Structures are given as C-alpha cells and as structure tokens.
Homo-oligomer: A and B are copies of this chain.
Amino acid sequence: MSMSRRSMLTAPTVLAGSALLAGPALAQGAPQAGAAPPQAPGFYRFKLGDYTVTVINDGIARRDNPAQGFVRNATPEQVQAALRAEFLPTTHFDNTYNFTVLQTGRETILFDTGTGGLLAPTAGAMWANMQAAGIDPAQVDRIIFTHFHGDHVSGLVSRDGQARFPKAELLVPEGEWAFWRSERAAEAPRNMVANRFAPYENRVRQIKSDADLGAGIVGIPTHGHSPGHTSYGIQSGNATVMVLGDVTNHPVFNLANPGWHIIFDMDAQAAEATRRRLFDRAATDGTPIIGYHWGFPAVGRVRKQGDGYAVVPINWSMGV
C-alpha cells in the first residue's frame, strides 16, 4: 500500500477531535445542510434491573501540554510515555465530562450536573444531549452530588444565575457542603460553589457519604479527590452500577497508575488510598462503573493490569 510510515505515525492526532474546539466546525461533518447532525447525540442508555440509566456527554475541555504539571509525582517523560501507550497525543489532552441520569419509573435522578456550558466553549453539549435523550430538566426530581468541583455543579444554573432544574431537591455529601462553605476553601472556588447552589437554598439536603438514599442508592465514601467526595452504588434487582465521580480522571493517568497524584486531587494520599481500595474490589467483583472523565459512553469494568488497572468498556448495545 502507498501509505508511508510517516503518515501512519501522524494519524493519531488527526482523530483527537480538534474540530470540536472550533464552534462552527461542529456543522462541517453534516452531509447535507440541516439534514442530519454532524455527530450522533451523546447519550447512552441501558437497563439496570427495572431502572433505566442514561449517560449524558457534556463535551470536553482541552488542556495543553498534559505532561507538564498535571501529574504532581510523575516526570513529563513518564506521562508522555503513558499517553503514547494509549495512542493519545502528548501536545494536548481532551478531558471528557459524562454525568448519569437514573430513571426509576417513579423518579428522575441526576448524579452531578456537568459544566452547564459555563466553563469551556467546547463543553455544554449536555442540554442538547439531554433533550435528544428525552430528559427534561424540569422533570428532574433529585440531583445527587459526588463533589463540588466546577465541572460537576455548574450545570445547576444558567449564566445569569437562574436554577436550571426548577423542582429538583439537591442531595450533597455533608463533608463536601461543610468544606466549600468554610474558609478552608479558597475564595474563588468558594464563590463559584455559592453561586451554583444559591437558587436552590431551601432545597439542599445534606447526606452522609455512606447513606442509604432509598430506591437502591447507597453512598460510598471516596474522600481524597475532594474532602467529601462520594461515589454511589445503584441496585435494581440483581443489577448494579457504580457512579464513580472523580476517583479517577481519564484512565491513562491515575487508573493505569493509581499512585499518580493529579493536581485536582485535594488530598493526594487519601485519593490514592481510596483508588486502590475501590478498584481492588471492583476488579474482583466486576461491578459496572460509570466514570465521569472516561471516554463516552464511559461505562466499563475495571481489571488489574500491570501495576494498576485498565477499563474494559462495555459492548455498546443498540438495545435498551
């Protein structure tokens, strides 16, 4: 074949989705103007016992030069090698956002809210993707939070500070609530959090990180990434799934290397201990996991591989 070795080697960066960074380019892939979306809507749905779970993709944010400064305790060469082993570019990293919607038949429950379009021009696809999936923000009954970092809570409000989920009750881990309202939190993120929760003031309920929330939902304490970080298990019949939150970022970093401390882990030692404990169990149990920063559809299981873990993605099913 006529393809040169050089052209093969340059190919990986071409598929990295750079067109997403240029707004108008989103439409370029459509074969006929107005006839079809350039990309399939970013939701993925599966049955969980009697429940329906939908993963909603909210787009990405790009970070330049991920080998510099993103992992505190690995050298740039180590990070570059890890990226290359996954055929990822070393010049930039596209961090993906995916949150979870649970429909029990009685309630519609969100786990986290995405960026809401407030954080990066390349994120905020959640509104279109929720609409495509038939999920109306006005019908959301509860929103359960893993933690309060901006990419998890910003979907709560519009740019002018109005509540996006007019009837939702918010369930927040008490350790997270306490921290982000205290002066232990730096001023800018503290103000961000206050802004996001402001229009919900009378609808916030604090929960313990190991709480049984009913409807088969239980908290799993996973502190470290943030002071009150909490994952959740959902069970219906014999079926279970774990909503992970940010126990790991993209698997290439601190799932493949659970000892790596990324800059977003607020207590790096606790975050590492949490990771190792949680994934040791998940690798044995085969629990399906939804990873907030895993590649969409972001559902997979974890197995031991080398000194760390790897994600085994589920087989996409057209059925639900």
Contacts and interface: CB of A to CB of B under 8 A. Distances in A.
Contacts of A45: 29, 38-40
A60 B1 contact: no
Given A1-B233, A233-B1, A26 B319 contact: yes
A3 interface: yes
A8 B240 contact: yes
Nearest to A130: B36
A308 interface: no
A82 interface: no
A168 to B, nearest CB: 16
Given A31-B52, A85-B303, A320-B39, A238 B286 contact: no
Interface stretch (A258-266, A267-275, A292-300): A292-300
Nearest to A105: B31
Interface string A7-30: 111111011111111000110111
Interface string A209-251: 0101000001110000000000001010111110000000000
B57 A316 contact: yes
B40 A220 contact: no
A282 to B, nearest CB: 9
Nearest to A12: B286
Interface stretch (A132-140, A154-162, A173-181, A186-194): A132-140
A149 interface: no
Given A17-B317, A38-B320, A319-B39, A11 B287 contact: yes
Contact of A133 (B40, B103, B134, B287): B40
Contacts of A44: 39-40
A110 B3 CA distance: 20
A286 B285 CA distance: 33
Contact of A239 (B14, B37, B132, B212): B14
B295 A238 contact: no
A81 interface: no
Interface in A74-120: 85-88, 94, 96, 103, 108
Contacts of A320: 19, 25-26, 28-29, 38-39
Contacts of A28: 47, 52, 320
A2 interface: yes
A33 to B, nearest CB: 10
Nearest to A128: B318
| Residue among A9, A59, A88, A133 with max Cβ neighbours from chain B (10 Å) | A133
Interface of A: 1-3, 5, 7-12, 14-21, 25-26, 28-32, 35-49, 52, 57, 59-60, 85-88, 94, 96, 103, 108, 122, 125, 132-135, 210, 212, 218-220, 233, 235, 237-241, 285-288, 295-297, 299, 301, 303, 312-320
